[in-house]
Homo-oligomer: A and B are copies of this chain.
Amino acid sequence: MSEERRLKVLRAIVQDYVETSEPVGSKALLERHQLGVSAATVRNDMAALEEDGLIAAPHTSAGRVPTDAGYRLFVDRLSAVKPMSQAERAAIARFLEGAVDLDDVVDRTVRLLAQLTRQVAVVQYPSLTRSTVRHIELVPLGPNRLMVVLIVNTGRVEQRVIETSGDLSTAEGEATLTTLRAKVNQRASGERLVDAARSLATLTEEFAPDQGDLVRAVVGSLEDALVEEREERVVLSGTANLARSGTDFPLTIGPVLEALEQHVVLLKLLGTARETTEPIAVRIGHENPHAGLQATSVVSTEYGTGSDLVAGLGVLGPTRMDYPTTMASVRAVATYVSRILAQ
């Protein structure tokens, strides 16, 4: 019994099932693929595949459907990422190039990805980890309220509002603020975020004790913003595609939507993309940690400019998904958005 032909059969099953979304039987397989063997032989192979847990029958005497393990094997060994046409690549590039700022880049990326794959697209905001501080601004909002604005070289802006104990509206208060603004920028500008945080920590010493509270408050809030990496934000698009995906699983669409609302879950999904050695990570069905996503697959990858700016991006859809083309789209979009970000 040729191992090779068995895999061919598995591949044919996956392809047919993805296309028709119906369990595929031995006869249908013969019609649609030139396997050069008879139906009975295919049946034997299918029995073996079922034995191995790669396919399963929903019920007696229906066709077979790939299991998660079957998809996994298909993705790992039976498929190649489908190359995209030159025209498609050009269209992607053109669409992304119209972006005016970082928000717009991310926005366009996520929309594009959703449209290309006709699935739910998830894009993480570029992380600040390796970025540097461009500028820090302190804006008084009232006698006891101060807004701290952190501008990063990638174009991201972080803002915090803090309550101060001393009165800022007095002449003395304003003077302190001016000094503080200058010193903070002197220490932090141009530094990497982690370094800036470290450097700011010792700033309190340079001020009189009675200004200590204000300085501590400002520095504390900056450290927060710098270290906590709070801007681990994600954007998503194409949720409507979930409803469209065949009569496949409109029943379990609820849990999926719930999972999508918990951005922490999405971040974890995209984060694990970095743990693999593969350029494109695929997580299939039960391989997903989250309970609501066990009927879905996630195709994700990294994007960004070198080691400077790294984030994740990907799509989520039913396990019955066209992996080769989806992977191609994800890869292409990641490539081009990285290029745009590099300017």
Contact = CB atoms under 8 A, between A and B. Distances in A.
A155 B147 contact: yes
A102 to B, nearest CB: 8
A261 B155 CA distance: 25
Nearest to A144: B343
Contact of A101 (B155, B160, B243): B160
B250 A159 contact: no
Interface residues of A, number: 36
A134 interface: yes
Most chain B CB neighbours (cut-off 10 Å) among A100, A103, A161, A240: A240
Contacts of A103: 159
Interface in A234-268: 237-240, 242-244, 250, 253-255, 257-258, 260-261
Contact of A254 (B145, B243, B343): B243
Interface stretch (A135-143, A164-172, A282-290): A135-143
A328 interface: no
Nearest to A140: B134
Contacts of A253: 243, 250, 253
A238 B250 CA distance: 17
Given A151-B149, A343-B142, A261 B243 contact: no
A159 B101 contact: yes
B159 A141 contact: no
Contact of A151 (B139, B145, B243): B139
A159 B161 contact: no
Contacts of A157: 149, 157, 159
A272 interface: no
A261 B244 contact: no
B137 A135 contact: yes
A239 B238 CA distance: 13
Contacts of A101: 159-161
A79 interface: no
A153 interface: yes
Nearest to A239: B257
A148 to B, nearest CB: 10
16 contacts: A100-B160, A134-B139, A137-B137, A139-B151, A145-B343, A147-B151, A147-B155, A155-B159, A157-B159, A238-B261, A240-B254, A240-B258, A243-B253, A244-B254, A250-B253, A253-B253
Given A101-B159, A102-B161, A240-B261, 8 more contacts: A137-B151, A141-B155, A145-B343, A155-B161, A239-B239, A243-B253, A244-B254, A250-B253
